[in-house]
Amino acid sequence: MLEFPNPFNRRRKPPPPVHGRTFDTFDALHAYQEAAERSIEPMSLPDYRRICRRLPVPTHDQITTFIREFSRAGSWYKHFPFFLPGAPITFFVSPTSGCHVRFHPHGLATVETITRENDTHRRMSRPTETYRLQFGHLQYAGHQIMYVSHGAELPDFCRVPKIAWRSRFRKRVTAGRIPPEVAAAGRVELTGAIHPLAPLGISKLIRSDQWPPASRAGLWPLETGGEFLVRRLEALLNRPQEELQSAIEPERRRQREEIGRAINRVLALIYD
């Protein structure tokens, strides 16, 4: 099946330096990160449950807000195709949610809470305290690395009420990969269609020289229109963006519901 790249994913600027190293391309950066992550061992499910059960259980409102914000956040969707096949994202519970994490080789990481004073990380749009109040300890990632301390005590950055939020908090911890059972339960295949800016991106793609495909079958989930919906998007190309948005909305809703089911599966593994 043909894969159509997202037209927003241009990657014109070089990636930022990591641990004093510079990289000419994102591919080189990803190769370095993947090599480092291979040294990280998965946690056992009992250890993961022991750690996460010390954290507050996400409320219904936090789960709903998390899904809504994720589906319209930042620029992650630029790296996802708008048509099938999609790409996997894993949703899970992590004690380092809302923190900035610097990964180091040999299974270590530095965890830093985010405050208004030290928010120099463009990927963080809110302080750790605000993140935890809105989303609890929910987190998503294209990989399944959870940064935790394997000691007997829960790390200080997990105890929200006890952190001096106006001061910088940094700690070196052991990095653990989430258990395979959790990775499988929290995995969802998504496309860029979930994002509010999807109509603009789909319009650009259909107007590009990559279109039309050899076959439109299999480019869109059957539950929300299948090949008929793809042809409808083509017909709506010169119509107002609102009409494209309306046509895509059932698929956006389906993907949000899939995320909700994945989160509930993860919570069942932890707390049931």
Q: Which residue has the higher pLDDT, 165 or 107?
A: 107
User: Is the pLDDT assigned to residue 260 strictly greater than 90?
Assistant: yes
**Is 1 a residue whose pLDDT tops 50?**
no
Over residues 98-114, the pLDDT tens digits come to: 887 766 666 667 777 77
**102: helix, coil or strand?**
strand
Q: What letter does residue 46 receive in the DSSP assignment? A: H
Cis peptide bond prior to 213, omega within 30° of 0: no
Whether 169 shows a pLDDT value over 80: the answer reads no
Question: And the tokens for 64?
Answer: 């709903």
Q: Is pLDDT at 184 greater than 80 in this prediction?
A: yes
Distance from chain centroid for Cα 9: 16
User: Which DSSP state fits 3?
Assistant: -
Mean pLDDT of the chain: 79
pLDDT surpassing 60 at residue 42: yes
H or E stretch covering 185: helix 180-185
Q: Is the dihedral of CA 256, 258, 260, 266 positive or negative?
A: negative
Q: Which of 37 and 132 is assigned the larger pLDDT? A: 132
Question: Are 111 and 101 contacting, i.e. CB atoms less than 8 angstroms apart?
Answer: yes
Model confidence at 223, pLDDT cuts 50, 70, 90, reads: very high
Give the H or E element holding residue 201.
Answer: helix 198-207
d(CA 51, CA 158): 10
Confidence of residue 34 (pLDDT cuts 50, 70, 90): low
Q: Taking 50 as the threshold, does the pLDDT of residue 139 lie above it?
A: yes
pTM: 0.80
Instruction: With a cut of 50, say whether residue 160 has pLDDT above it.
Output: no
